[in-house]
Structure 1
Amino acid sequence: MSRRSTAAVTRSALGERGGLTALGLLLVLAGVAALVVGAGWLGTFRARRPLLDPIAVDWLAEHADLARAIALVLGLLALVLGLRWALLALRQEPRPDLVLDHTADSELTVTAGALADALRADAEAVPDVTRARARTVGSADAPAVRLSLWLRDGADVRAVWEELDRTVLGRARSSFGTPSLPTAVRLELETAERQRVR
């Protein structure tokens, strides 16, 4: 699956993955360093020393105000970075609008909601589709589509797919002006109604 196609399947988490990878590598390196020192591979003297160096403890005692200020600044920085990270992870996924005409005098834009409604209506017009849900995701430069379709019991899935690709997605590709439009399609088959035996 190409990087562009993943936008149709799931929202991008590249920043979160990068941050967690960097944090994980830093913690692994700290753990390996503690293991190497604690095992005595750098000498038994270093392995027997306390966790905080006595010279560092003496310096902290002599410069208590400066140490508190540094700790406070580092704590606030960690809080701000943590809140920023959480807000980025919780932000709403972008839904691109389709700009049809953008000139100095006027602008013609189709909203993401209108695009989703048009896709849903087109998909529900496909034979054997009982209902549909659509969403445009990604960016205006690289849009993608997510479709959820509910099919009648006994529907010919291949025929539904061919009709969907030919009409619904074909119209969407021409609307977005792109030869390829990454699309994730989720199909659900509805169960047949149970008949009571009398």
Structure 2
Amino acid sequence: MLGVVNRTLLALAGLVLTATGAALLTGWWPPAGRHAPLLTEAARHRYGHAEDWWRWVVLAGLALCVLLALWWLLSQLRRSRLPALVVDTGDGAFALLRGRALEAAVAAEAGALDGVARCRVALRGRRGSPSLRIALELEPHAVPADALAGLAGPVLAHARSSTGLPALPAEARLTAASHRARRVT
């Protein structure tokens, strides 16, 4: 979802800047010349004395824009990957398992399955409830059901047993590797 928000904000900023640039280049804006104010004296008096509600609307709109900008900034700083897991060693102590190490181990084991051309793994979630996102790129001759069964069986069982977690949910996305057609002579 964050990618959609980023693209939308970038598109809106681009449209505003393009429209403003076009207005400045064509001489359409500012309307009364270079040194003229945007609001005339009569407009300032009309909005300043007769209708007091518009100030509150402008302030509420600006406050909403500030809150949305802060939300966007904080969502940019949030990490999408889980950096480490706490693993019970069985003797009353705990060890810290780096997330990248678990990702690399699962990717190596899944990449060794028959028909898998490439594998990418990301550890997501929280320390108490981690999950895996696995992207498998299958070779043209691969059977997707076999690759998925190999992934769901031994690969995820090894990951669960090595982390000591009773459940390790995983989301697998399968894609086909692009290949060139063979020449027939």
Give the shorter-chain TM-score range: 0.5 to 0.7
**99, 111, 115: which is aligned to 2:86?**
99
C-alpha change, 1:94 and 1:193, in structure 2 (3 Å) is closer
Q: Distance in 2 between matches of 1:89 and 1:171?
A: 33
Task: State how 1:51-130 maps to structure 2 within 5 Å.
Answer: 61=49, 74=60, 77-96=63-82, 97-100=84-87, 108-130=95-117
Q: Distance in 2 between matches of 1:152 and 1:197?
A: 21
Aligned Cα root-mean-square deviation (Å): 3.5
User: Could you list the runs of 5+ residues in structure 2 that have no partner in the other structure?
Assistant: 6-47
**Between Structure 1 and Structure 2, how many residues are aligned?**
138
* TM-score of the two chains, using structure 1 as the length reference: 0.55
Q: Deviations over 1:143-188 (max 9, x none)?
A: 1111111122221222222221121111122233333222111112
C-alpha change, 1:87 and 1:154, in structure 2 (3 Å) is same
**105, 112, 122: which is aligned to 1:135?**
122
SS in 2 for 1:175: helix
Contact 1:99–1:108 (CA<8 Å) still a contact in 2?
yes
- Tell me which of the two structures has the higher relative contact order, counting C-alpha pairs closer than 8 angstroms and 6 or more residues apart: 1
SS in 1 for 2:145: helix
User: Could you list the runs of 5+ residues in structure 1 that have no partner in the other structure?
Assistant: 1-9, 17-59
2:31 is matched with none
The letter of the residue matching 2:81 is R
Q: Distance in 2 between matches of 1:107 and 1:181?
A: 19
1:173 is matched with 160
Identical residues among aligned pairs (%)? 31
